[in-house]
Amino acid sequence: MAWHVRVLVIANVTATSPDLLAALKERADRGPIDPTLLMPATRNGFTGREEAQGRLDEALARWREAGFEAKGIVGDPDPAVAVHEAWDPREYDEVIVSTLSGQSSRWLQSDLPHRVAQITGLHVTHVASRKRPQPRTGPPPEREKPALGPFTLRAPHSR
């Protein structure tokens, strides 16, 4: 059995982008990989972790559809802290950082690919997605509107 290269992938909104999936396929064409997706939580406390877990689960499902069996980790909201917490040189051989391209990327504004290289001591492959991927879900479900519009009368509690 061939040895699999263990790849840590740091991504958030670009986790399901065609550019990242193409980069993973290109890397896998050179030899088998065992990817782990590290997705920082949003800054909404506990609900931020729940929200990130939902996005992580969706991304891992898309990766499976693309032929990649991967593990996933929800990390700290600060991506550099998330990498510090997840990084173990015995667990990973390569690192990919996926960002939005250009000025729209806060991760590029904070020079995250270079910071990750400093944290890990590895060369970091940077994948810049040309545009933000659209969510897979359809339109929001129709909600029943109360007869009185946004205001609803409630009877007082009787004792």
- Neighbouring residues of 78: CB distance < 8 A, sequence distance ≥ 6: 40
Q: pLDDT (tens digit, 9 = 90+) per residue, 54-81?
A: 999 999 999 999 999 999 999 999 999 9
Q: pLDDT (tens digit, 9 = 90+) per residue, 87-115?
A: 999 999 999 999 999 887 899 999 999 99
Cβ atoms < 10 Å from Cβ of 50: 13
pLDDT, greater one: 25 or 2? 25
> How far is Cα 155 from Cα 117, in angstroms, rounded to an integer?
61
37 close to 9: Cβ distance less than 8 angstroms: yes
